Amino acid sequence: MIMARFLMDDEIDSISKRLELPIVAQTLNQIHRGTAVPLDQLLTDKKDMISVKDQNTINGFTLLRDVYGQPALVLTVTEPRKDSHHGRVVALYNTLFIAAILIVFSFLMYLLLQRKVLSRMIHLNQQVQRVDMSRETPMHVTISGDDEISQLAQNVNAMFVQIAEDQKALRRAHDDLEQKVAERTAELEEANQELLCLDKAKSHFFHPHRMNCGRRSHPYSVSSSFWSALSKNVSSRT
């Protein structure tokens, strides 16, 4: 005994309502080549097929045979990809949430760097620019804290002290040099006066007289013995 059942449109609609899925029944003649129905695979593999229509929809296909075992109908079930859509929404929210966290974290890091590093470096730079290096007393910069920036300020202060000491030493050396130059100039002037006196004595050694040599006046009685002694003195000086 063979029992069969006609699948009319009303019956298919009833099944679709019970399953809450849109079901479409098509005969083999109604299916055209190149459509979304994988007819060749259904006939070859003899099993249900599932394919993705788009990112929001998935299709399921099954082949129904008649009482003689021949392919009769192809049922197509279309279902929205709710899980996929929900996953994409969750991924989007996660991306936005992570982006918001990164923005907030970056802003907080900027505020921290501005307060702990950048503002202190700007303050240190402004103090260094206001330093008057021509002053004898060393200038100082002040930076609060106990980190690398405060150590840098201490090193800058030590450099200012060293510069002030070097400037003091340079001024002392300059003053000493000026004093030595003045003393040497006085000695040269005195030696020049003595040379002028000797030159006058040489030109007038045969005529006794008084010669005025600069600030000192000496009487000379020029004779051959005096000229001999004078020549020895000039030779020893030159």
Domain boundaries, the chain: 9-80, 191-237
As a whole-number percent, the residues of the chain with pLDDT over 90 amount to 10
Report the pLDDT value the prediction gives residue 100, as an integer from 0 to 100: 96
Examine the pLDDT at 95 and tell me if it is beyond 90: yes
pLDDT single digits (tens) 208-228: 554 454 444 444 444 455 556
- Phi, psi values for residue 5, rounded to 5°: -145, 135
Q: What is the mean pLDDT of residues 23-35?
A: 71
Better pLDDT: 31 or 75? 75
Residue, of 88 and 138, whose pLDDT is higher = 88
Q: Is the pTM of this model over 0.85?
A: no
Q: Which of 115, 105, 30 is nearest to 74 (CA)?
A: 30
Q: Is the pLDDT of residue 118 over 80?
A: yes
Alpha-carbon torsion angle 212, 216, 221, 227, nearest 10: -90
